[in-house]
Structure 1
Amino acid sequence: MAQQIHGTVADGFEAVREEFASFVATERPDYEGQLCAYVHGRRVVDLWTGGESDSLYGVFSSTKGAAHLVAALLVQDGTLELDRKVTYYWPEFGAEGKGGVTLRDLLAHRAGVIGIDAGFSAEELADDRVIAERLADQKPYWRPGTAFGYHAVVIGALVGEVVRRATGHTLQEVYEERVRAPYGLDFYLGLPEAEERRFRSVQPMVPTPEQQAELDARQTGPHTLASIAFNTHVPDPGSLEDHANSRLVRAKGPASAGGVASARGLATMYAAAISELDDRPPLLKPDTIAEVGQIHSVGYDLVARTHKAFGLGFQATADVAYPFLGAGTFGHSGAGGSQAFADARSGLAYGYTRRRMAYPGGAAPENEALVRAVHTAALRQN
């Protein structure tokens, strides 16, 4: 029996519901997912199935969007300066040839500090302060500024340490005060115990035999850049879902991949970033939106081993995923299948979550059709 689709869409967005329902009808009976979108600060899509409207899911690297929004706000305020060396804020970071790395380099995944030789334990990956302390002494894996590669499990800790040194507060504290609490977002970097009842444990990927064979073929060796960046070079790396399903991770909210959110939380954060919302002006000014969405690193990603593009921390979503979106679209996807972004040119803010991890990892494939449907409807409204 097909899952029942709950929620609403605004006039003109009926095709989005149809696309969501069409996808759900082809999925496993235990599928749980949420889809939410805003256009110019107005919620136009709010759909879910399998769970509840306010269920919370581990969103893995979509967490990075919140971390980079904090950095953007502090740059906008003048608290941080993009072309200052990281050592201006964090002197210890200059060890092992990293003294010339600027904050812009760091945000653009050009610093080369993708992990540490010895790797991190599961407990260490829950604590951004510990990660940052150990990264300070690490020699970069390429000469900073000469190339780029996805700093998958450490970028939040690196940026977070700069934030802490500059403000005296953790990145999570700044996010709570300036972003999450004012809008009541269901997007947490540190999930309170009282909200645990809404968390739905992440379920593992269930690939077909053909997909499993492809996954096995893609496995990297124990000493590659990819294995170091994803911390799989340690003796017992565990599984991805273990990270999101750890109460320690959810409580501390490490800024690379420890966030917990609903689709509403993801979409509302990006709507607040670019649009007037709840009688508040956009969090980001037009110049800041242009800066964070401007491509800073593009080409061959040394870690991902494929074409990638990054703005200031954020993924350049139009370049790497959905070329029909507006230039300068910025956001971040997550390993569990989540996707979230803001397209300031159309006024679109998008959020998607699901409970079971999707093959092959990263933004779930169904986002392609869902994003296109929402974007098409948004352009017609405009």
Structure 2
Amino acid sequence: MTDLQGHCAAPFEAVRAAFIENFTARGELGAAVCVTVGGEPVVDLWGGWADPGRTREWRRDTLVNVWSTTKGVVALLAQILVEEGLLDLDAPVTHYWPEFGAAGKEAIPVRHLLSHRAGLAAFREPVSVTDLYDWDGVAARLAATEPWWEPGTRSGYHALTYGFLVGEVIRRIVGSSPGDCLRKRVTEPLGIDFAIGLPPTEDGRVAEVVLPPRDPSGERAALFAQASPMARAALANPLLGADTNTGPWRRAELPAVNGHGTARAVAQLYALLAGAPGGPLGPAAVERVRQGQGACVDLVLGAAFGGETELGLGCWLSGRRGSYGPNPRAFGHDGYGGSFGLADPEARLGIGYVMNRMGTRVADDPRKTALIEAVYGAL
């Protein structure tokens, strides 16, 4: 690896050690981690390489695709609209998006979209990556789709569709895309380096993502073997290809999977979900974000988790599994390959971790676990 850069407050030296060990023992290529307490950064470290050829060092402002860590950012947007009185989570989706009521979906409330309980975890026909770049076309497909299960009864991870479902409600309310809403309401006013739909002017500082090897542990194969036809359709989606490193992918708005940012930005955004001072969410909104929507074995990822999990309104709850540290009411979101964002209101904590060499674990990558354990050990 290149020399480690950034700063780390003295009580958090174990985080620096865990970050270095991710390179020396866990195959890291390039990465960054940021920890904020009370909205202030106590750890902000980066190192390694932004490309597999090791010709570009990872820098303070290196951006990378964080995959599903983006979902927590979309949840933040929705909660801001609730705070502004523009969105009612218990209103039917059709109040904002009338066409959505087709195929028996007229009664589905907005909260089911945020908690992956709408029954729309997969498209019913194959879609290509190019299809995903057509926002109106995807929204029309989802509006016409019949739910795969009775909405509200179980969660089933909406890996790709989540961003279009919640994003279309946001678009109908504000009159512009989720990426534009994020820029105008959050990232520009607060100086946060994160985008959904990256302009070409930023390509020079984007890290090249290295896709994981073909399931050497057999975890994905086992997941598919145990999955229902619906879950297989949800998991066998186009985001598993190398398109993340292309201009069209970066330019598109895929709010479930293609946010680009720094670890600092991820930590700042998840700190806002935890109620950081000066942020858009007050205490009541923070409680709303982590309001459990019902524990169950997830219909898509159940085999990967090996038991019950629970979603709040846009993020996974740490719960008894401790996926986001020892506070069961902490919450966050992992991204495909290893990135994550974490929010802990009690500890006034936000954590962001991003990297470009993707791991093979479906959730709880060992690099993530090591960093979280080190952070909580320092508190």
Q: State whether TM-score is above 0.5.
A: yes
In structure 1, C-alpha distance between the alignment counterparts of 2:318 and 2:336, rounded to whole Å: 15
Shift of 1:253: 2.6
Aligned partner of residue 45 in structure 2, secondary structure: strand
Shift of 1:41: 1.1
2:51 maps to none
In structure 1, C-alpha distance between the alignment counterparts of 2:126 and 2:321, rounded to whole Å: 28
Aligned partner of residue 18 in structure 2, secondary structure: helix
Equivalent position to 1:172, from 158, 161, 179 = 179
Shift of 1:361: 3.4
Greater shift in the superposed pair: 13-22 or 357-366: 357-366
Shift of 1:207: 6.4
In structure 1, C-alpha distance between the alignment counterparts of 2:136 and 2:315, rounded to whole Å: 22
Shift of 1:358: 0.6
Deviations 1:28-81 (A, max 9, x none): 4x7111111100011000111112222111111011111110001011111000
1:48 maps to 46
TM-score using structure 1 length:
0.89
1:255 maps to 255
Q: How does 1:85-124 map to 2 (within 5 A)?
A: 85-124=92-131
Shift of 1:370: 0.7
1:355 maps to 356
**C-alpha RMSD of the superposition:** 2.1
In structure 2, C-alpha distance between the alignment counterparts of 1:139 and 1:88, rounded to whole Å: 18
Shift of 1:167: 2.2
Shift of 1:230: 2.8
Cα pair distance change 1:54/1:83, threshold 3 Å: same
Contact residue 120 and residue 231 of structure 1 kept, 8 A: no
- 1:282 equivalent in alignment to 2:288: no
Aligned partner of residue 121 in structure 2, secondary structure: coil
Contact residue 187 and residue 260 of structure 1 kept, 8 A: yes
Shift of 1:143: 1.2
1:226 maps to 231
Cα pair distance change 1:127/1:40, threshold 3 Å: farther
One-letter identity of the residue aligned with 2:310: A
One-letter identity of the residue aligned with 1:286: P
Deviations 1:138-178 (A, max 9, x none): 11000111222011101110011111222222222111111
Shift of 1:218: 3.4
Contact residue 205 and residue 356 of structure 1 kept, 8 A: yes
Cα pair distance change 1:325/1:183, threshold 3 Å: farther
- Structure 1 gap ranges (5+): none
- 1:203 equivalent in alignment to 2:210: yes
Contact residue 274 and residue 283 of structure 1 kept, 8 A: no
Query: How many pairs are equivalent?
Result: 366
In structure 1, C-alpha distance between the alignment counterparts of 2:89 and 2:141, rounded to whole Å: 23
In structure 2, C-alpha distance between the alignment counterparts of 1:268 and 1:255, rounded to whole Å: 18
In structure 2, C-alpha distance between the alignment counterparts of 1:366 and 1:287, rounded to whole Å: 32
One-letter identity of the residue aligned with 1:202: V
One-letter identity of the residue aligned with 1:100: A
Cα pair distance change 1:220/1:201, threshold 3 Å: farther
Shift of 1:11: 2.3
Contact residue 272 and residue 280 of structure 2 kept, 8 A: yes
Cα pair distance change 1:3/1:207, threshold 3 Å: farther
In structure 1, C-alpha distance between the alignment counterparts of 2:255 and 2:292, rounded to whole Å: 22
Contact residue 4 and residue 45 of structure 2 kept, 8 A: yes
Cα pair distance change 1:283/1:319, threshold 3 Å: farther
Deviations 1:99-139 (A, max 9, x none): 11001122111110112211211112234432211110011
- Structure 2 gap ranges (5+): 49-57
Equivalent position to 1:36, from 19, 34, 42 = 34
2:20 maps to 21
In structure 2, C-alpha distance between the alignment counterparts of 1:323 and 1:172, rounded to whole Å: 26
In structure 2, C-alpha distance between the alignment counterparts of 1:275 and 1:113, rounded to whole Å: 30
- 1:302 equivalent in alignment to 2:299: yes
One-letter identity of the residue aligned with 1:192: P
Contact residue 66 and residue 257 of structure 2 kept, 8 A: yes
Cα pair distance change 1:248/1:271, threshold 3 Å: same
1:150 maps to 157
Cα pair distance change 1:257/1:321, threshold 3 Å: farther
Q: How does 1:337-348 map to 2 (within 5 A)?
A: 337-348=338-349
Cα pair distance change 1:268/1:170, threshold 3 Å: same
Greater shift in the superposed pair: 251-260 or 327-336: 327-336
Shift of 1:5: 2.1
1:81 maps to 88
Aligned partner of residue 43 in structure 1, secondary structure: strand
One-letter identity of the residue aligned with 1:15: A
Contact residue 65 and residue 314 of structure 1 kept, 8 A: yes
Deviations 1:78-109 (A, max 9, x none): 10001111111111111111111001122111
In structure 2, C-alpha distance between the alignment counterparts of 1:94 and 1:106, rounded to whole Å: 13
